[in-house]
Structure 1
Amino acid sequence: MPYVLLLLAIATELVGTSLMKATDGFTRLWPTVVVLVSYVLSFVFLAQAVKGMQVGIAYAIWSAVGTAAIVVIGAAFLGEPVTLAKVAGIALIIAGVVTLNLTGGEAH
């Protein structure tokens, strides 16, 4: 169940981040409301997820998947460029999350 909650946290964070430009600096009401509600829901789901998993692991997955997905969303729907530096950065983030998960988040 913690991973389902974490997935919901990631999904709602992606909605909020994807609509950030649409708020026009928080001057447009409805996009602003959706962004704020999305972020609140994301943190609620994340807080529930960490009841059943390590905070460091949950946050690493939440931030890494969110970052990688928003790069894809930005490229696919917002016309943002995909550069070699972005791809390398995402690969390093994913490698870090995999490393944390393989070690169970414990120092050896």
Structure 2
Amino acid sequence: MGLVLVAGAIAFEVMATLALRASHGLSRLGPSALVVVGYGTAFVLLALALKSLNVGPVYAVWSGVGTIGAFLGGVWLFDEPVRPATLIGVTLIVIGVVVMYLGGGMEQ
């Protein structure tokens, strides 16, 4: 169940981050409301997941996968550029998340 909560937290965090971009500095009501609801829900789900999972690996997965999700969403929704350095960064994030997961495990 903890991994399902982490997945939900990632989805809401990515949604909120993309809504933050769409809010134009929190000047648009709809996207701004999604920012508040999305981040609030993400933190609640993450807090619930941490009742049964180790914080280090969970945070690595949550932040790493969220970063990649926000990157992909930015490319897809906002036509943001994909550069070689960006792809190297994404690769390093994936490697880091895998190492944290394998090194610390997700289950207590």
TM-score above 0.5, yes or no: yes
CA distance in 1: counterparts of 2:22 and 2:90, whole angstroms? 25
Runs (4+) of structure 1 exceeding 2 A deviation are none
Q: Distance in 1 between matches of 2:34 and 2:69?
A: 19
Q: Which runs of 5+ in 1 are unaligned?
A: none
Alignment of 1:1-108 (within 5 A): 1-104=1-104
Find the aligned partners of 2:21 and 2:67 in 1 and give their Cα distance: 16
* Matched residue type, 2:8: L
Q: Supply the distance in 2 between the matched residues of 1:56 and 1:93 (Cα, whole angstroms).
A: 15
Structure with higher RCO (Cα < 8 A, 6+ apart)? 2
- TM-aligned CA deviation for residue 76 of structure 1: 1.4
Cα deviation for residue 21 of structure 1 reads 2.2
* C-alpha distance in 2 between matches for 1:81 and 1:87: 11
**C-alpha separation in 1, matches of 2:51 and 2:8:** 15
- SS of 1:19 mapped into structure 2: helix
Residue by residue over 1:62-84, the C-alpha shift from the partner in whole angstroms, topping out at 9 and shown as x without a partner, is 00001111111111121001111
CA shift for structure 1 position 22:
2.1
User: TM-score, length-normalised on structure 2?
Assistant: 0.91
Indicate if the aligned counterparts of 2:13 and 2:42 stay in contact, CA closer than 8 A. yes
Percent pairwise identity: 43
Structure 2 unmatched runs, 5+: none
After superposition, give the CA deviation of every residue in 1:38-67 in whole Å (9 maximum; x if it has no partner). 000000000011111111111100000011
Count of residues in correspondence between the two structures: 105
